[in-house]
């Protein structure tokens, strides 16, 4: 059924069996034989450029050698030593821009070692074992609060718990996982992997998770600093930037992150409404995820409109090509100026742009596209900072996540210092945990 205000947005555009196929695993896992063959392509470089390209500094040649010698569990441990969310990162990392781009095979032959799929093989194998691979150190008696159960918070909490500290994670959502659970395309994380990974991570012990608690509402930074020996903020970016276009408040215009969240939590994709003519505004991973999933749900025409050129898109070339392969139109140098319709969106008006080196400017030339659904994916903003010093729109940090307030650290998307990637958030959470540990134990 469709809403009387939005007759083009309907559920069940495709039969359930087609939806199941469309939202299946984007990359099938390796079989043991396939993993062995892929591992044999590695040169096992002594000074491997792929390691330098990995934000979490995983010893990639070592774990691939361990796979090639028939010990994928050991390979998984090598990965988790540096990146406790290595399973999810194997699924969502833009490896084509990181480790695989730096691979010697890529530079020599144009085909890198499939590091991401090999990492998934190793981590999945080890996670399938019954026992968590890490033991806690003796309890220190120290308590740490972690705000945000996304990649940064989870990585921080696990490393702190491993060193014997008691950790309480607070999260505003009903489930832990952050963007891994709510913010990435469903075909990248199938079979409820994000939730299963959280449960596996918590197997270390010493971590309590309290959901439905938001900083600034159920808890305050001041209260946390009084009750805990240290605080880590991994709150992500909760607000979505406005288009600033006329008609933005019309029915059928919504935030792409809300759409992706709804899709990720849907028990029946056939019940999820989608438009016939969908336009996504933005140039990042969220824009691609929203556009591709709209197409997979059965939207007939899907367009990504980005105000700059292709080379400026933050979504990787691989993601751009994936969108195009699914039938998504990529439109560059076009910015929204108005959304038209009587109560609900019917068209979006875009102005072509140019940049002569002095900044982006509209040309005055416009085009209208049919649209019954418009998704905004133009970046997110920090919704709470607890009174900490900011750098731009993020919490200012120095070193391993130290904020302007003693005893408070921050990492992930809410803090300065890195790309907005899962793997970067994991590295920042891990490094902050080590700095917190050193501080609490008096070695800093």
Mean pLDDT of 94-99: 93
pLDDT of residue 4: 44
Check whether 257 has a pLDDT greater than 60: yes
Check whether 368 has a pLDDT greater than 50: yes
At 292-304, the pLDDT tens digits run: 999 999 999 999 9
Check whether 1 has a pLDDT greater than 70: no
At 227-253, the pLDDT tens digits run: 999 999 999 987 778 888 999 999 999
DSSP string, 210-278: EES--BTTTB-HHHHHHHSSEEEE-----EE-----BTTTSBTEEEHHHHHHHHHH-S-GGGS-B-SEE
Check whether 400 has a pLDDT greater than 70: yes
pLDDT of residue 278: 98
Place of tokens 């809403």: 3
Domains of the chain from N-terminus onward: 32-127 (1.10.1060.10), 143-238+382-440 (3.50.50.60), 241-376 (3.50.50.60)
Please list, in sequence order, all residues whose beta carbon lies within 8 angstroms of the beta carbon of residue 69, skipping any fewer than 6 positions away. none
DSSP label at residue 10:
B
Instruction: Give the lowest-confidence range in 1-15, 165-179, 212-226, 417-431.
Output: 1-15
What is the average pLDDT score of the chain?
94
Question: Which percentage of the chain shows pLDDT scores above 70?
Answer: 98
Structural Rg of the chain based on CA atoms: 23
pTM of the predicted protein model = 0.94
pLDDT of residue 379: 84
Burial pattern 241-250, b for ≥16 Cβ within 10 A else e, equals eebebebeeb
Check whether 358 has a pLDDT greater than 90: no
The pLDDT-based confidence of 356 (bands split at 50, 70, 90) is confident
Check whether 266 has a pLDDT greater than 90: yes
pLDDT of residue 6: 60
Check whether 2 has a pLDDT greater than 60: no
At 314-340, the pLDDT tens digits run: 999 999 999 999 999 999 999 999 999
């Amino acid at each position: 059924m469709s809403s009387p205000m939005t007759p083009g947005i309907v559920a069940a555009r495709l039969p359930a069996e087609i939806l199941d196929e469309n939202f299946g695993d984007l990359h099938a896992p390796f079989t043991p034989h396939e993993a062995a063959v892929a591992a044999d392509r590695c040169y096992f470089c002594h000074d491997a450029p792929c390691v330098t390209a990995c934000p979490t500094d995983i010893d990639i040649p070592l774990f691939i050698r361990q796979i090639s010698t028939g010990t994928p569990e050991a390979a998984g441990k090598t990965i988790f030593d540096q990146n406790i969310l290595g399973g999810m990162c194997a699924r969502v990392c833009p490896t084509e821009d990181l480790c695989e781009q730096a691979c010697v095979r890529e530079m020599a032959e144009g085909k890198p070692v499939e590091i991401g799929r090999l990492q998934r093989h190793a981590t999945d194998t080890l996670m399938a074992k019954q026992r968590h691979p890490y033991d806690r150190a003796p309890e220190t008696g120290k308590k740490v609060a972690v705000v945000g159960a996304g990649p940064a918070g989870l990585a921080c909490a696990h490393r702190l718990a491993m060193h014997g500290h008691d950790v309480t994670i607070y999260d505003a959502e009903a489930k832990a996982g952050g963007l891994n659970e709510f913010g990435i395309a469903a075909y990248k994380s199938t079979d409820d992997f994000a939730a299963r990974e959280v449960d596996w991570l918590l197997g270390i012990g010493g971590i309590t998770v309290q959901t439905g608690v938001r900083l600034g509402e159920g808890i305050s930074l001041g209260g946390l600093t009084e009750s805990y020996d240290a605080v880590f903020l991994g709150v992500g970016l909760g607000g979505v930037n406005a288009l600033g276009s006329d008609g933005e408040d019309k029915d059928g215009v919504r935030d792409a992150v809300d759409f992706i969240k709804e899709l990720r939590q849907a028990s029946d994709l056939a019940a999820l409404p989608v438009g016939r003519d969908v336009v996504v505004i933005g140039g990042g991973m969220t824009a691609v995820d929203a556009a591709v999933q709209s197409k997979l749900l059965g939207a007939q025409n899907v367009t990504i409109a980005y105000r700059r050129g292709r080379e400026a898109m933050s979504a990787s070339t691989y993601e751009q090509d994936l969108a195009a392969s699914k039938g998504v139109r990529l439109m560059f140098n076009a910015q929204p100026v108005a959304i038209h319709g009587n109560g609900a969106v019917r068209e979006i008006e875009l102005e072509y742009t140019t940049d002569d080196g002095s900044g982006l400017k509209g040309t005055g030339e416009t085009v209208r596209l049919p649209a019954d659904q418009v998704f905004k994916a133009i970046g997110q903003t920090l919704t709470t900072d607890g009174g900490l010093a900011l750098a731009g729109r993020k919490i200012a940090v120095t070193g391993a996540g130290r904020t302007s307030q003693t005893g408070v650290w921050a990492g992930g998307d809410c803090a300065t210092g890195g790309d907005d990637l899962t793997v970067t958030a994991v590295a920042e959470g891990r490094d902050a945990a080590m700095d917190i540990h050193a501080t609490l134990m008096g070695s800093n």
